[in-house]
Amino acid sequence: MRTAVIVFPGTNCEQDVVHALSTLGGDAELVWHRENDLSGFDGVVLPGGFAHGDYLRTGAIARFSPVMAEVERLAEEGLPVLGICNGFQVLCEAGLLPGALIANRDLAFICRFVELEVTDTDTVLTRAAEAGQRIRIPLNSYEGSWVDPDQTGRVPLRYVDNPNGSQDSAAAVANLRGNVVGIMPHPERGVDHLLGSTDGRILLEGFLHSMALA
């Protein structure tokens, strides 16, 4: 089971994602955004950072990177696709997830641990967790407030204490099928006691397990 970890110019969390997935027994590989073939991969992660400098809008340019056509194909085939932080923004811009992300309610860059509650376990990110389970992982974003005027999104993870004004207190959003998920906090930074939490493991384990099932 191979995971493609996409690298755009300005992506900066790709090594953390590869490290986290490898720690959990996954086989993760960095893939440059100009690649146009993801055959042989069983899942994709779009990591955090500032793809294409966040110019125009976060994710607005990244969604046209050549690799995105393949990400869309994998999503359509039902394979697990996960966007973390900036990756979540890219998935919204690409139309693979509903809604969009705007600046935090208080215009502050938020960089701290947040507590989440699992509200839907029928997604590739939350399938190993239990409904109602609390997860504590770091949030690290400025444009992290999710809005969805059409109210079509599924929300598998909610902030216990909404830090950024996100609609429905959404910390993560899934498509209807549950195979495409975007999450604003960073599960990959919560896999080692040394960094203060191992709560991200249950999420990434679920993602790895989903690749085996898809």
Partner 1 sequence: MKVTVEITRRPEIADPQGSTIQRALSDLGHTDVVSVRVDRVVHLDVTGEDPEAVKQNVEEMCRQVLANPVLEDFTVVTG
Q: Which residues bind partner 1 (CB under 8 A)?
A: 56-57, 60-61, 64, 92-93, 98-100, 102-107, 145, 147-150, 165
For partner 1, the closer CB: 97 or 202: 97
Shortest gap between Cβ of 184 and partner 1 (angstroms)?
A: 16
Q: Say how many residues make up the chain.
A: 214
For partner 1, the closer CB: 107 or 194: 107
DSSP codes of every residue in 58-100: TTTTGGGSTHHHHHHHHHHTT--EEEETHHHHHHHHTTSSSSE
Q: Note if 209 is an active site residue.
A: no
For partner 1, the closer CB: 39 or 151: 151
Catalytic residue among 33, 85, 143, 205: 85
Shortest gap between Cβ of 200 and partner 1 (angstroms)?
A: 28
Q: How far apart, in Å, are the Cα atoms of 43 and each of 25, 74, 113?
A: 14, 7, 27
Closest by CA position to 89, among listed 17, 142, 138, 125: 142
Shortest gap between Cβ of 82 and partner 1 (angstroms)?
A: 21
Q: Note if 188 is an active site residue.
A: yes
Q: Note if 85 is an active site residue.
A: yes
Where does residue 168 fall: left (phi above 0), alpha (psi -120 to 50 degrees), or beta otherwise?
A: left
Q: Looking at the annotation, which residues are catalytic? A: 85, 186, 188
